[in-house]
Structure 1
Amino acid sequence: MKIVISGFYGLGNTGDEAILESIIDNLREQLDEPELTVFSLSPELTASQHGVKSIYRGWRQDFKAKVRALKEADLLVSGGGGLLQDTYPTKFIFGPLPYYLLIVFLAKLCGTKVMFFSQGIGPVTSTWGKILMKIFANMADFITVRDQYSKDYLLKLGVTKPETVVTSDIVFAFKPKEDFTCIESLKLEQNDHLVAVSVRPWFDHVKQFEQIATILDALVEERQITPVFVPMEGHHDVEASNKVLSRMKHADKCHVLGKDFSPNQYLNFIGSCQLTIGMRLHALIFSTIQGVPHIGLSYDKKVESLLKRSGMWDYSAALEEIKVENLKNHALFLLDNHDEFSDVVKKNAAAMREDALRNVELLKQNFAE
């Protein structure tokens, strides 16, 4: 079976690279020697990392190669991740939403079937974005989404033609490989009080940097923790981490991991922590996979949806509604009752892993059998 995979790949985002690795590993496990081609911004790197064919994803290069790959393919897998949204500016054919939908349209012109795979939908708020969704998303042959919110959102946008099934993020089917490179890079004398911290820029929101700094200072003073910042998207998250550090009294007790570790290495590091305090969705997913209690700072419905499924929403907060004293007390409570909440998270992670594997099972049922 020949499959083309389209997503936010080759741009150095740890979450999206984890999605790609999960898709590739599970397709290879479940299908008989599939031929995989990935549309990537760094095609040579993607090809070497995953042993796949890879084509430059942008319109300005290799357009004929993209058409040829789609014509030869049995299926376009669009996803996973939050591809279909217009949070970032969307113009006529520019922006993530038009790009991914036009790839779908191109596939249909080439006679290739399309599956939206483990996607998170929205927000789509612009009139043009809603028009594009209603026209082009209805061209898909089958859809799986990672939460109920996304299914409901598709219906609200008028996407009704293909069947839509709620599964979970394909990263819950990630296949971890033991690797201690991250923690070894820190050269710590002891590592039993580590707290992973994942922060990101989010438009003009900056108040959270001071709030997180206050919480971390309190945890250092009251539980002697060692905060370690995990930059899930390169220099963007390093800069955000430094904004928190600049507001801390105990910045000298903190560490920032390098920005070029693999998803598997970050996953293993988070698994060695007692707690995660994070904004990035996939830092929280990694925590769930590893059974690490976590406090999420939700800037988007996708984060809230994950926290409700992992069992940690009651200890988390929407970004605009952070109450420092409450979150500090939640963090202390989770640290003091680590094993109990680790069991809760592991149980929920097992259920989401089963749902994640359904993405591949449904692909097989609809397109390979």
Structure 2
Amino acid sequence: MREIKKIGILNAYDARNRGDRAIVEAHLGFIRKILPDVEVTIFSPHHDYNRTIFESSSCVGPLISAPLGASALWRLISPPIDWLLHIFGWRADHRAKAFHSCDAYFICGGGYLYSSPAPLISRQLWLHVANMLAALQSGKPVLAFPQSWGPIRKSTDRWICRKLASALPTIVTRGRASDLMLSSWGYSEKIVSLPDVVIAASVLIPETADWRLSSRHQGSLGIAPIDWNFDRKVDASGLSDYISKLVTISQTWCSTAGNSVTVFPQVEVEGADDDGIIARKLVAALFAVGVPVSFAEGLGWGEYWTKIAAQEVFIGCRMHSCIFAMVCGVPTIGLGYQPKFTELFEQLGQLDRSHLIEDFDPVKVSTQLENISNEDERIAIARIVDSNAYKVVTTLEQVWQKTVARA
């Protein structure tokens, strides 16, 4: 095994999705902890923007890619061309050179191995898997960070995911739904189940210590809304009902004098993946009924964390906004559009605080908010998160050591 001087982080997204940025920041923190002197290259289709954020690392497009901004036809045929040229050893472009120069690969954790609403195949899932398989075929160490698998709704997606599961020596998952699916495929002995790596922010992201010291905004309810049409089709009436329930919860919360609401868009990738649209609708609906509301739009990285840390309680419909709040000791309720929400809260012993986004009771959620808005709850969630943080880091270190020994 040659000396590891350069690590490639694969399947990174756009840093304007603060959850995905947090995953990469946690990866970088883990690398600093175990290999402080290595070079890092981050592979992402959004490499041009990411280069402005991760200034200490180089940022490159993925080995297998459907280039952003290209024609629909080129985005369709480019990935198979990339793959075939790679398989036959005919790649000499910048992306291929950067990929092959890495001595090991870390696979970005997250929740991207799921079937999209598109017909036939889920292109992004296939692209992610293709880059992971290329890393595994290199014979170099490959460490996959905690990943949710599913929901898988198409036979084509199932086939490629089973191929990936077969190739991975260790499958690090983020919860029970993933474990059950992988076990049904015969891979139970490979599974290591952990919470999302951002739970370990207090260990891996140094600024967390300062964010946790943010002054509390007494009586402030934070809400991170989402339009989950990217996962499955939701009609206008479904979204309207969802917003109406959030308004009801907010009105109940603000029936106490001095209480207020702050709305947080977690993702602001304009024109592609933007929570700002649904967030503005919620802000307008709250304003219309007289709820005191502020809109946390366009915040910088540290400012976003700091403002979430200042909330008294929090409702997250994006999983990482829930994690940000809990890492900072804010009692949190999750409204989940995928099983990964339930899995996260279950792993933290908070299962009763996770609800389905299409079927939650605003009265029950309002009662929970009232019950968890106290100092004891803040201390308790901070302790739970820190306990899991050390578990995540220690376990990943053990998996890494085995991975290096095996390569």
CA distance in 1, matches of 2:353, 2:15: 32
Q: SS of the residue aligned with 2:19?
A: helix
Paired residues of 1:8 and 1:83 also in contact (CA < 8 A): no
**Matching residue of 2:300:** 261
Q: In the TM superposition, what whole-angstrom CA distance separates every residue of 1:316-345 from its partner, at most 9, and x where no partner exists?
A: 42223211222112212222xx11212221
Paired residues of 1:297 and 1:316 also in contact (CA < 8 A): yes
**Matching residue of 1:187:** none
Paired residues of 1:143 and 1:163 also in contact (CA < 8 A): yes
Q: SS of the residue aligned with 1:24?
A: helix
**Matching residue of 1:85:** 114
Q: In the TM superposition, what whole-angstrom CA distance separates every residue of 1:219-240 from its partner, at most 9, and x where no partner exists?
A: 1122531211111011522211
Paired residues of 1:85 and 1:96 also in contact (CA < 8 A): no
For residue 275 of structure 1, report the CA deviation from its aligned partner. Answer: 0.1
Paired residues of 1:294 and 1:312 also in contact (CA < 8 A): no
Match of 1:119 among 147, 154, 158: 147
Q: In the TM superposition, what whole-angstrom CA distance separates every residue of 1:66-92 from its partner, at most 9, and x where no partner exists?
A: 332332223222221012111343645
Matching of residue 21 in structure 1 with residue 21 in structure 2: no
TM-score by length of structure 2 reads 0.80
CA distance in 2, matches of 1:306, 1:3: 28
Q: In the TM superposition, what whole-angstrom CA distance separates every residue of 1:170-209 from its partner, at most 9, and x where no partner exists?
A: 11222252667xx99xxxxx93222111101012141211
Paired residues of 1:87 and 1:123 also in contact (CA < 8 A): no
Name structure 2 gaps, 5 residues minimum.
68-77, 83-92
Return closer, same or farther for 1:351/1:257 CA change in 2, 3 Å cut-off.
same
CA distance in 1, matches of 2:360, 2:299: 30
TM-score by length of structure 1 reads 0.87
CA distance in 1, matches of 2:33, 2:382: 24
Matching of residue 173 in structure 1 with residue 200 in structure 2: yes
CA distance in 2, matches of 1:251, 1:356: 43
Alignment of 1:179-328 (within 5 A): 191-203=217-229, 204=234, 205-206=238-239, 207-234=241-268, 236-248=274-286, 249-251=288-290, 253-262=292-301, 264-328=302-366
Q: Which amino acid aligns with 2:192?
A: V
Q: SS of the residue aligned with 1:297?
A: strand
**Matching residue of 2:70:** none
Return closer, same or farther for 1:198/1:176 CA change in 2, 3 Å cut-off.
farther
Q: SS of the residue aligned with 1:317?
A: strand
Q: SS of the residue aligned with 2:383?
A: helix
Paired residues of 2:51 and 2:58 also in contact (CA < 8 A): yes
For residue 48 of structure 1, report the CA deviation from its aligned partner. Answer: 4.1
Q: In the TM superposition, what whole-angstrom CA distance separates every residue of 1:88-147 from its partner, at most 9, and x where no partner exists?
A: 43645x522101111122224444343321111111121111111112331123222222
Q: SS of the residue aligned with 2:112?
A: coil
Return closer, same or farther for 1:60/1:237 CA change in 2, 3 Å cut-off.
closer
Return closer, same or farther for 1:328/1:237 CA change in 2, 3 Å cut-off.
same
Return closer, same or farther for 1:343/1:123 CA change in 2, 3 Å cut-off.
same
Aligned residues: 357
Q: SS of the residue aligned with 2:43?
A: strand
CA distance in 1, matches of 2:200, 2:32: 13
For residue 168 of structure 1, report the CA deviation from its aligned partner. Answer: 1.9
**Matching residue of 1:352:** 388
What's the C-alpha RMSD, in Å, of the aligned pairs? 2.6
Q: Which amino acid aligns with 1:313?
A: L
Return closer, same or farther for 1:233/1:40 CA change in 2, 3 Å cut-off.
same
CA distance in 2, matches of 1:298, 1:329: 18
**Matching residue of 2:73:** none
Q: SS of the residue aligned with 2:145?
A: strand
Alignment of 1:64-79 (within 5 A): 64-79=93-108
